Structure 1
Amino acid sequence: MFKVTAAAAEQILKAARQGGTEGLSLRLAAARQADGAIDYRMGFDEVTEEDIRFTSEGIDVVMAPDQVPLLEQTTLDYVEMEPGTYHFIFLNPLDPNYVPPEGDAPG
């Protein structure tokens, strides 16, 4: 299933505090583009009856059932892309643009 890293969880909780959205779930969405790549979206939202709901690293995560096939093997991380510049990244082996992080052993 979808995973949130500790670094991403810390930043998500910080963003919720700063944005006044504490208590809301983190909603994830994805759409396959014409070239096969996957476009990712996330934001704080209320839970609906139809949502798939789970917790990862203390983060309450929700997604619509139709999102599961695109997101089920994904890890959300928060990494330093350049010195002093951090971004959320989606690591998804189902995405044709996926590149495994350096140092990860296959398997």
Structure 2
Amino acid sequence: MFKLTPAAAEQVLKAAKQGGTEGMCLRLAAGQNPDGSIDYRMGFDDLTEDDIRLTSEGVELVIAPEFVPLLDQTTMDYVELEPGQFHFIFLNPKDPNYHPPTEN
């Protein structure tokens, strides 16, 4: 379904602690842009009755059912894109902008 890398999980847990949202789930959502690319959203939230709930690398994740088709098979990572600049990235084979990661 959806998974986090250890680096992403570590950063999510650190952000929850710093933001006072420990114990809350990380909610994931996605929307499809007119060009077919996928726009990803996330934030700490409470679980609702209809949510799909899963755990990855010790992080509780929730996804509303309508977002599952776009987020299925996605991996969220936390990487250094440029020296000193770290970002969450979404690796999703369903996204037309997806390029499998390569080792440099």
Q: How far off its partner does 1:28 sit?
A: 0.1
Distance in 2 between the 1:91 and 1:15 partners?
A: 21
Instruction: State the match for 2:37 in structure 1.
Output: 37
Q: Alignment identity in percent? A: 71
Tell me how large the CA RMSD over aligned residues is.
0.5
Structure 1, unmatched stretches of 5+, are none
Structure 2, unmatched stretches of 5+, are none
When normalised by structure 2's length, the TM-score is 0.98
Figure out how many residues of one structure are paired with residues of the other and give that number.
103
Q: How far off its partner does 1:86 sit?
A: 0.2
Question: For each residue in 1:24-74, what CA deviation from the matched residue of structure 2 results, as whole angstroms up to 9, or x when unmatched?
Answer: 000000000000000000000000000000000000000100110000110
Instruction: State the match for 1:74 in structure 2.
Output: 74
Distance in 1 between the 2:33 and 2:87 partners?
A: 21
When normalised by structure 1's length, the TM-score is 0.95
Task: For residue 75 of structure 1, give the secondary structure of its aligned residue in structure 2.
Answer: strand
Instruction: State the match for 1:63 in structure 2.
Output: 63
AA of the residue aligned to 1:66: E
Instruction: State the match for 2:21 in structure 1.
Output: 21
